[in-house]
Structure 1
Amino acid sequence: MKRISTLFLLLFLAGNLFAQDETPIVPADTSYWLKEISGGLNLNQASFSGNWQGGGVNSIAVGTYLFGRANYAKDKWTWDNTLDLTYGVVKNKDEEGRKSNDRIYLDSKVGYEINDKWNYFFAVNFLSQFAPGYDFVEPEKVLISKFLNPAYLTTSIGVEYKPNDEFSLRISPFAPRWTFVTDTDLYMNVPTNYGVEIGKTVRTEWLAFNLLADWNKKLSENLTFMMRYQMFANYETLAFDTIDHRLDIGLTAKVSNLINVSLTSLSIYDIDQDDKIQFSQGLALGIAFKRGNFPEEK
């Protein structure tokens, strides 16, 4: 009997030890990524009866966009990546379809924390378009741009001021830029050839200054504001009228989980394209989606 009691005691103790060993171990969080992708489709349409006296033209416009970001952060290191694609077409009665929007924007930045508001950074930025662009001069259309005509690849090293999750300012005293025009005959339609020497396909600007400000603000529960400003100045040709400026602004109102209204504008000043400010604006209603693990902005 004593041996049986001793055996039960040993089994009891062994069971407790085994149970302790089987306690679930919660793995350490090794996911340092925040990811998000959003996109949408916008549709605008207008039609008029044959006897409509108010004037107007039947038209349809379709636009789509895709925005993504993937940010990595561990200790003092960060790696932020942004993808911004936009394309739109408008078709008026008795006219060819024309682009209403066209943008390829890629940005990748590696940062190292100096303190809670400042970082060192190295970034690569690419900007171009998808489809050919035309100057519609009756009775024909003239090709003035297309994919990689032009395209801009900018690298930059400097410091970044980031006081919060809404605003960032990159200041780069060294920002080489490459301008591509792969069609060597395009200069016949665009005499400036976007700053690229005629007969060549790329222009390199080694000594340059670059500034990029990015502000994303949630104005209310269903209203968000976006602003991105870029400045580029070549030290070798530095003058007030040779500094390039680009300003993107967007205002989005969420109507429901799938429907939103967006107002966008783009302003460009680049003397290698035109000696005046270029401006475009768009208003759209469409369906949208958004997925990701970024924390909700307050």
Structure 2
Amino acid sequence: MKFKVFLITVLVSVYSINATILNDSLALKKDSISHWKNSNKVRLIFTQNSFVNWSAGGNNSIAGIVKINLLRNYKNNHTTWFNELKSSYGLNKEEERELRKTEDLFEVNSTFGYRENTKSNWYYSAKFNFKTQYTNGYKYPNTDKPISRFFAPAYLFLGVGTEYTKKESNFKLYLSPITNKTTFVFDQRLANEGSFGVKRAVYDTDKNLVSEGENTKIEFGMLATGEWKSEVMKNIQMANKLILYSDYLNNYGNVDVDWEINFDLTINKYVTANVGSHFIFDDDVKRKEDIDNDGTLDILGPKIQVKQLLGVGFLYNF
């Protein structure tokens, strides 16, 4: 009888221990899932025009863009950590014309935030952003001299500030009074020309090189970033992002503007359409034109850069 009682006690104890371990494991797993959210999207967007005996005329063309967006986001009561990798590359081939690049981007974003009060939407934040391109860019049809290359330019933003987030309305506002912006131009010819705001090379009166152009430009200024996402209609998602930056050390008051707005139209789980516009104004990025038609690109003043996209594509989530 005592042995049975002892055996039952041991079994109950073992069951209780196993149940506790299992509950702790499930709780840990649940806690881990609730804190981290991952998203992986690959999108292929393409357009195509074809003409056969078309009286109005036209050139056959085909274009495609591959977009990759990877997210790794962490959030608990006090801490948020947003991580994003964006990459896109597009080509266009038109009849009787060379293959041309239409889009080229590699970008990494990371924002860390901490709040003391769990009821507050304001976080103490630190932000990191890096972007560059993969291949040479040209002022078509001139393909002899690239006007941009890999790491020419590349931009690095690093700053601290505060961020307001409101999950219900998918809205974010980041304000940083102290942000470092570093511009890299690791192509000496472009650096000598003073491209993208770096200090250009110095030549004597006989056009002999005295000192080469600098490969980096360091700025300190203030940064404001706003992001807003909304479902404007059923199956139509809008993403709106505005970035404003002004340098304290050089022409304070001149504001660099980077505004991007996109509409994603969901047709089904795998087929989507995309309509978007991207506007950039950077006082350091000068326009290049061949004014004299001699094959030499003359450096002129800055202008608003505009890019628009309309296409239908395939979306894969994993």
Q: For 2:41, give the aligned amino acid.
A: S
Corresponding residue of 2:316: 289
1:44 to 33, 43, 47: 47
Is the Cα–Cα contact under 8 Å of residues 149 and 187 in structure 2 kept in the other structure? no
Pairing 1:262–2:289 present: no
Q: 3-state DSSP class of the match of 2:230?
A: strand
Is the Cα–Cα contact under 8 Å of residues 192 and 272 in structure 1 kept in the other structure? no
TM-score by length of 1: 0.87
Corresponding residue of 1:153: 156
Cα-to-partner distance string for 1:44-65 (whole Å, 9 max, x where unaligned): 111111x321211100101110
Distance change in 2, residues 1:6/1:258 (3 Å): same
Q: For 1:63, give the aligned amino acid.
A: I
In 2: Cα distance, 1:7 partner to 1:148 partner: 77
Report how far residue 84 of structure 1 moved: 1.3
Is the Cα–Cα contact under 8 Å of residues 111 and 120 in structure 1 kept in the other structure? yes
Distance change in 2, residues 1:81/1:54 (3 Å): same
Q: For 1:251, give the aligned amino acid.
A: F
Q: For 2:282, give the aligned amino acid.
A: D
Pairing 1:134–2:138 present: yes
In 2: Cα distance, 1:8 partner to 1:175 partner: 72
Between 1 and 2, higher relative CO (CA 8 Å, sep ≥ 6) is seen in 1
Q: 3-state DSSP class of the match of 1:57?
A: coil
In 2: Cα distance, 1:184 partner to 1:253 partner: 43
Q: For 1:247, give the aligned amino acid.
A: W
Between 1:5-14 and 1:175-184, the stretch displaced more is: 5-14
Structure 2 counterparts to residues 38-187 of structure 1, below 5 A: 38-49=41-52, 51-115=53-117, 116-137=120-141, 141-164=144-167, 166-186=170-190
Q: For 1:278, give the aligned amino acid.
A: Q
In 1: Cα distance, 2:316 partner to 2:282 partner: 34
In 1: Cα distance, 2:304 partner to 2:9 partner: 83
The gaps in structure 2 that reach 5 residues or longer are: 201-212, 287-301
Report how far residue 142 of structure 1 moved: 3.8
Is the Cα–Cα contact under 8 Å of residues 260 and 286 in structure 1 kept in the other structure? yes
Pairing 1:277–2:308 present: no
Is the Cα–Cα contact under 8 Å of residues 81 and 109 in structure 1 kept in the other structure? yes
Corresponding residue of 2:37: 34
In 2: Cα distance, 1:187 partner to 1:78 partner: 39
Q: For 1:222, give the aligned amino acid.
A: N
Corresponding residue of 1:194: 196
In 2: Cα distance, 1:15 partner to 1:141 partner: 82
Q: 3-state DSSP class of the match of 1:237?
A: coil
Report how far residue 214 of structure 1 moved: 1.3
TM superposition outliers: structure 1 runs of 4+ over 6 Å: none
Corresponding residue of 2:291: none
Distance change in 2, residues 1:76/1:62 (3 Å): same
Distance change in 2, residues 1:70/1:9 (3 Å): closer
Report how far residue 237 of structure 1 moved: 2.2
TM-score by length of 2: 0.82
Pairing 1:212–2:212 present: no
In 2: Cα distance, 1:175 partner to 1:222 partner: 37
In 2: Cα distance, 1:73 partner to 1:277 partner: 37
Is the Cα–Cα contact under 8 Å of residues 106 and 132 in structure 2 kept in the other structure? yes
Structure 2 counterparts to residues 222-237 of structure 1, below 5 A: 222-237=235-250
Q: CA RMSD in A?
A: 2.1
In 2: Cα distance, 1:167 partner to 1:83 partner: 20
Cα-to-partner distance string for 1:198-234 (whole Å, 9 max, x where unaligned): 21110111x3111111112233442211111111101
2:264 to 244, 252, 260: 252
Pairing 1:243–2:255 present: yes
In 1: Cα distance, 2:214 partner to 2:227 partner: 34
Q: For 2:310, give the aligned amino acid.
A: L
Report how far residue 19 of structure 1 moved: 4.0
Size of the aligned set, in residue pairs, is 281
Report how far residue 21 of structure 1 moved: 4.1
Q: 3-state DSSP class of the match of 1:194?
A: helix
